[in-house]
Amino acid sequence: MKASLSAAASEHDILGIISRHTDKPGAVLGILEEAQEKNPFKYLPPETLKLISEKTGTPLSRIYSIATFYSFFNLQPQGEHTILVCRGTACHTRGSRSLLEELSCLLGRPDFVESGEHSFTTADNKFTVKTVACFGQCALAPVVSVDGVIHSRVTSAGLKAILTRVGKGGKKS
């Protein structure tokens, strides 16, 4: 698994992406977006950032500052499924913390909420869990997004059903 995780999009792929963006405004941003999309784990490994820096003549520090500024760029391998749990006030008052605690336990990270981290990926790379500040759907709290699909008024039972649907099957840690 480790070997495949380090396998970035191939140099050939990256060069192809760069050639399509040559002379376009905001080229580096577009190149990074495509390179991440091309990566099987939807992230930008160091070797990819270095290659983009070399081939575009953009300082590596600039590449990193772009990749860390925009929240949609990932510098760590992402899971097959992405679960976003809202930690905004409305969702918090309607139980998002306990949902997140339950989710973290189900996915083998019972310490996650207390850790202060904002995301984790399961060891099998099946799930990435992230917290978000607000989906702008506070009337539907608590809100959870799974692979881009918003689920509203999520309950503990609803959460387990969602996990089962996307393949976890409710395994306890």
Residues within the interface to ligand FES (CB under 6 A): 86, 88-91, 134-135, 137-138, 141, 143
Smallest separation (angstroms) from ligand FES to the CB of 131: 10
- Name which of 28 and 86 has its Cβ closer to ligand FES: 86
- Write the single-letter amino acid at 122: T
* Residue facing ligand FES at closest CB distance: 88
Smallest separation (angstroms) from ligand FES to the CB of 95: 11
- Name which of 74 and 131 has its Cβ closer to ligand FES: 131
- Name which of 29 and 90 has its Cβ closer to ligand FES: 90
**DSSP assignments along the chain, one per residue:** -HHHHH--S-HHHHHHHHHHHTT-TTHHHHHHHHHHHHSTTSS--HHHHHHHHHHHT--HHHHHHHHHHSTT--SSPPPSEEEEEE-SHHHHHTTHHHHHHHHHHHTT-TTHHHHT-SEEE-TTSSEEEEEES--S-GGG-S-EEETTEEE-S--HHHHHHHHHHTT------
Smallest separation (angstroms) from ligand FES to the CB of 103: 15
- Name which of 42 and 94 has its Cβ closer to ligand FES: 94
Smallest separation (angstroms) from ligand FES to the CB of 164: 23
